[in-house]
Amino acid sequence: MVHPPGTTQSEAWLEDVPIPDVSKLVTEDDTPVDNIFSERQMSLLVASLHGGWTPMRDGAPRPFLALANVGIFANTKEPPVVPDVLLSLDVEPPADPTAKETRSYFVWEFSKFPDVVIEIVSNREGGELAQKRRRYAKYRIPNYVVYDPFHSLSETTLQAFRLAGDLYIPNRTLEFEGTGLGVTLWTGEWQRMQGTWLRWVDSQGNLLPTSEERAEAERERAEAERERAEAERERAEAERERAEAERQRASRLAEKLRALGIDPDAP
């Protein structure tokens, strides 16, 4: 097929994919997540995007999908590839997520591949730096992140890649062009579990907070404002008491002067 000028490789790839019949596709197999840490990590990455992040373009908000453990179907001939987390910008959430056509990330339904895919490594069986990496590159997914908290694959904890032609090359900035996002490692507590977590950051390097973190920050701000107002009230009360004490001292002095036959108000 001849594609119009300006068509990206990914768009051209998609235009050549016919819309298939998905009625017999297996989109869920009830396979459990690897471990508790992985489950918590996935929930943190998705929750922080839905916790108040609003990507913008030309002054308008951009819709997005952030999903965990959902298969990407490029066609019906290949099995899906299932990233732990995916982010896709400029796509609307499905109106009916229970419909067969929208239970998974069917690229022909969303008209694009995700912008970022993330893998959280828990063993050596997932092929995150081998077959999965090759498939994501084949699908022209611009950004790929591998977080290896247990060092199952190597001593490198965090690796990010960006697409260059048909291959991934290291992305040492950990920033994803065109998204306003990057990633970093953060040590702290999430859902009552202490650990070193992969977190999203904005273009200024600030952590994207979850809704819980936003609420806690607002609570702390309100408490600090209450304490400031209370301190100001106490300061004003202390000033009032000081002024009253000064007035009473001056009154007693005036009475003593009058007792001595001296007019305290005389010029």
Using alpha carbons only, give the angle 86, 30, 82 rounded to the nearest 5 degrees: 25
| pLDDT of 210 | 94
| pLDDT of 5 | 47
| pLDDT of 99 | 82
Residues shown for the chain: 267
| pLDDT of 19 | 64
Chain centroid to CA 261: 80
- Other C-beta atoms closer than 10 Å to the C-beta of 152 total 13
Look up the CATH number of domain 9-208: 3.90.1570
- Is 203 in contact with 180 (CB distance < 8 Å)? yes
Residue in this structure with the two tokens 């001292």, named with its chain if needed: 249
- Phi/psi for 252 (5° steps) reads -65, -40
How do residues 34-73 score in pLDDT, each as one tens digit? 789 999 999 999 999 998 899 999 999 999 999 999 999 9
pLDDT under 70: residue ranges of the chain:
1-33
Query: Smallest Cα–Cα separation from 151: which of 196, 84, 113?
Result: 196
Query: Smallest Cα–Cα separation from 146: which of 131, 102, 221?
Result: 131
| pLDDT of 4 | 45
| pLDDT of 27 | 52
| pLDDT of 154 | 94
- The predicted model scores a pTM of 0.77
